[in-house]
Amino acid sequence: MESLLVRKGGPLKGTVKISGSKNSTLPIMAASLMCSGEVILTGVPDLEDIKVMSGALELLGARVKREQDVLVIDGSTIDSFELPEEFSRRMRASNLVMGALLSRFRQARVAYPGGCAIGTRPVDLHLKGFEKLGYTIKEEYGFMEGNGQPRGGKEILLDFPSVGATENIMMAATLLPGTTILRNAAREPEIVDLQNFLNRMGARIRGAGLDTIRIEGVQRLGGVEHAVIPDRIEAGTFMVAAAITRGELFIENVVLEHVQPIIAKLQEIGVEVIICSCGLKVVGNQKMKPTDIKTMPYPGFPTDMQPQFMALLSTVEGTSIMVETIFENRFMHVPELRRMGADIKVEGRVAIIKGRTDLEGATVEATDLRAGAALILAGLFAEGETRIQQLEHIDRGYENLHVKLKNVGADIVRGPWS
Ligand code: EPZ
C-alpha cells in the first residue's frame, strides 16, 4: 500500500499550474450522454474519479477515448440505461447520469450512491425534482428507477441549494417540452460551466450562478468541444500550502472570481494575496492571526476547503472557530491532526482550534479527499516526518499533488512503504 512521506522543509517557492476542475468535468461527462454526437472535452484532469465516470459511461454503451488532457465521448452507441452499484458506491457523482438518461431516453435505473466519510449523502432532492418534472420514480432493491413521458413547464423549489440536485434536475429538464424554473438552485461555478456546455450543445438554459435557473426544453443536442474550468479547490489547496509554509507561490490557471471566498479568509488571517493578470501570488508570512470560518454554499466559504484551512489555523497562535454547515461528518481529519499535536476540540459541527507552532510529524490516515490534502499541508509544517496512508482518497481528486508540491520545494516522496 503506497504512502507519502512528508518532512518539514523551507517555505515553498515557485509557480503551480492548476488542473481542470474535477467537479465540473464529472457532471459534464454525464451530460455528454445527452447527445448522439461526439463531445470533445479539453483540460480534463487525470484523476481516479474521472476514470470511474469513464467506466460508467462505457458500461452504458458510450465510447470514451482519452489522449493526455483530452477526453472524447461518443454517446451515439448507448444501449443500456442501468448503472449498477459498483459505480454509484465508488463515486457518488455517477448518479448524475440519471438526469442525462431521463432527458434523452426517458428511462434510467441507477443504484443508490454510497455514503462516504463525510456524510450519508442522500439523494432525496434529486428524486423529488425528477418527480416534480413528471417522471415516475420508483425506489426498490437499492435502485432508483425513473421513466415516463413528462411535459416540462414546472416550477421546482429545492429545500437546500444542493450542487448535485441542481445539476441532475437541469439535465433532466433540458430535453423536455416546456420551460422549467428551478428555484433555490446551487450557484457554484461548476453549475455555470455545465450550463455553458449544455447551451453550446443546443440547450436553452439561463440563470446558472444565480439562485433561479430557467430551462427552456429543446428537441435534441449536438456534439461540441468544451474546455472545463480550472479547479478552484486545487487552487485553494496550493494557496494554503504557500501560507502554511510561510512561502510564496504563483498560482497559474485560476478564475479569480471562483476563489474570492478563499482569498478573503486568507487575507483575514494575514496572508498576502496579489492579483496578477494571469493568476495570483500568495505570500505567507510569519505573523498570522486566528479567524472564524463558517462553510456555506457558494459564494460562501467552500466546505471543500474546510480541512485545509483547519490545518493552517492549527499552526496560527490563538483560537479559531470552524463551523461546518454543509456535511454532518466532515471533521474526520481532526483525530489525525491531533496525532500531530494539533489542539482541536469538536462539539457537533463546531471545531475550536487553538493554534500552536510545535506540531510534530506522525503516521496519519487520509479519511477522505480533502482531509488527505489537509494532512499533507500539516506535514509540510510539522517537525520531523509525517507518513500519510490511504492515498486512494487523494488520488480521486488531485492530479500529481506530490509532484506539483515537490516542484516548488516540498520535501515529499511517494513510495510503496506499508
Ligand atoms: C458536490 O457534492 C461536490 N461533489 C462536493 O465535493 C462538495 O463538497 C459539495 O458539492 C458541496 O459543495 C461534486 O461536485 C462531484 P450537495 P454533492 O448535494 O452534489 C445534502 C469534493 O471534495 N443533500 O450540494 O453531493 C447533502 O447530504 C466533493 O470534491 C441532501 O440532503 O453536494 C449535504 O449535506 C466532496 N439531499 C448537502 O446537501 C440531496 O438530495 C450538500 O450536498 C442532496 C444533498
Distance from Cα 142 to the centre of ligand 1, integer Å: 20
| Nearest atom (ligand 1) to Cα of 93 | 15
Please identify, by atom number, the ligand 1 atom nearest to the C-alpha of residue 326. Answer: 34
Is the CB of residue 318 below 6 angstroms from any atom belonging to ligand 1? no
Rounded average pLDDT over 271-295 = 94
Mean pLDDT value of segment 310-326: 98
CA distance 351 to 321: 6
Q: Tell me the best of 88, 163, 184, 367 to mutate to test the pocket of ligand 1, counting ligand atoms within 8 Å of each CB and taking the most.
A: 163
Compute CA 217 distance to the chain's CA centroid, rounded to the nearest angstrom.
28
Concatenated DSSP letters of 94-141 = GGGHHHHHHHHHSEEEEEPPP-BTTB----HHHHHHHHHHT-EEEEET
pLDDT score, position 273: 98
If one residue of 326, 329, 331, 367 were mutated to test the ligand 1 pocket, choosing by the most ligand atoms within 8 A of its CB, it would be 326
Nearest CA to ligand 1 atom 39: 123
Which residue's alpha carbon is nearest to atom 8 within ligand 1?
304
In which band, very low, low, confident or very high, does the pLDDT at 5 lie, cut at 50, 70 and 90?
very high
Determine the pLDDT at residue 151.
82
Is the distance from CB of 13 to CB of 247 less than 8 angstroms? yes
Give me ligand 1 centre to Cα 186, in Å: 10
Provide CB contacts within 8 A for 128, sequence distance 6+.
none
What is the pLDDT, as a whole number, of residue 121?
81
Residue 89 pLDDT = 85
Burial of 67 (0-12, 13-18, 19+ CB in 10 A): exposed
C-alpha 200 – ligand 1 centre gap (Å): 26
Give the Cα separation of 85 and 143 in Å (integer): 8
Give the model's pLDDT for residue 115. 63
Residue 276's CB: how many other CB atoms inside 10 A?
11
Closest ligand 1 atom to Cα of 370:
22
pLDDT at 259 over 80: yes
Question: Average of pLDDT values for 323-337?
Answer: 97
Query: Does residue 365 line the site of ligand 1, with CB under 6 A?
Result: no
pLDDT digit string, tens, across residues 392-403: 999 999 999 999
DSSP letters, 276-318, are ETTEEEEE--S-----EEEB-STTSB-GGGHHHHHHHHTTSSE
pLDDT mean over 71-97: 94
Q: In which band, very low, low, confident or very high, does the pLDDT at 67 lie, cut at 50, 70 and 90?
A: very high
Nearest CA, atom 10, ligand 1: 163
If one residue of 19, 22, 23 were mutated to test the ligand 1 pocket, choosing by the most ligand atoms within 8 A of its CB, it would be 23
Q: Which amino acid is at 42?
A: T
Predicted local distance difference test score (pLDDT) of residue 90: 86
- Give the C-alpha separation, 412 to 288, whole Å: 25
Q: Which residues lie below 8 Å from residue 207, measured CB to CB, with a gap of 6+?
A: 185, 195, 213, 214
pLDDT digits 0-9 by tens, 112-163: 987 677 887 889 999 999 999 999 999 999 999 999 999 878 999 999 999 9
Q: Report the pLDDT averaged over residues 315-335.
A: 97
Q: What strand order describes the sheet that includes 248-252?
A: 13-17, 248-252, 279-283, 272-276
Q: Write out the three cell numbers for 160.
A: 437546500
> Whole-angstrom Cα distance, residue 392 to residue 232?
21
| Secondary structure (DSSP) of 348-400 | TTEEEEEE-S--B--EEE--SHHHHHHHHHHHHHSBSEEEEE-THHHHHH-SS
pLDDT for 415: 92
pLDDT digits 0-9 by tens, 203-235: 999 999 999 999 999 999 999 999 999 999 999
Ligand 1 midpoint to CA 76 (Å): 30
User: Which phi and psi (to 5°) does residue 135 adopt?
Assistant: -75, 150
How large a percentage of the chain has pLDDT more than 70?
99
Q: What is the mean pLDDT of residues 38-66?
A: 97
Ligand 1, atom 25: closest residue by C-alpha: 164
Tell which atom from ligand 1 comes closest to the C-alpha of 121: 27
Ligand 1 contacts CB of residue 121 (under 6 A): yes
Taking alpha carbons only, the member of 402, 334, 327 closest to residue 364 is: 334
Check whether 309 has a pLDDT greater than 60.
yes
Split at pLDDT 50, 70, 90, the class of 104 is very high
Is the pLDDT score of 418 beyond 60?
A: no
Residue 119 Cα to ligand 1 middle (Å): 9
Q: Which ligand 1 atom is at minimum distance from the Cα of 120?
A: 27
Q: In this structure, which residue's CA is closest to atom 9 in ligand 1? A: 163
> Does the global pTM surpass 0.75?
yes
Output 137 or 89, whichever has higher pLDDT: 137
Please choose, from the candidates 101, 100, 95, the residue with its C-alpha nearest in 3D space to the C-alpha of residue 113: 95
| pLDDT band with cut points at 50, 70 and 90 for residue 77 | very high
Give 309 or 1, the one with higher predicted confidence.
309
Give backbone dihedrals phi and psi of 158, rounded to 5 degrees, phi first. -80, 135
The better pLDDT of the pair 122, 189 is held by 189
Q: Give the catalytic positions in this structure.
A: 116
Query: What CA–CA distances, in Å, run from 382 to 240, 340, 361?
Result: 15, 7, 5
Whether the predicted pLDDT of 41 surpasses 90 = yes
- Does residue 163 have its Cβ closer than 6 Å to ligand 1? yes
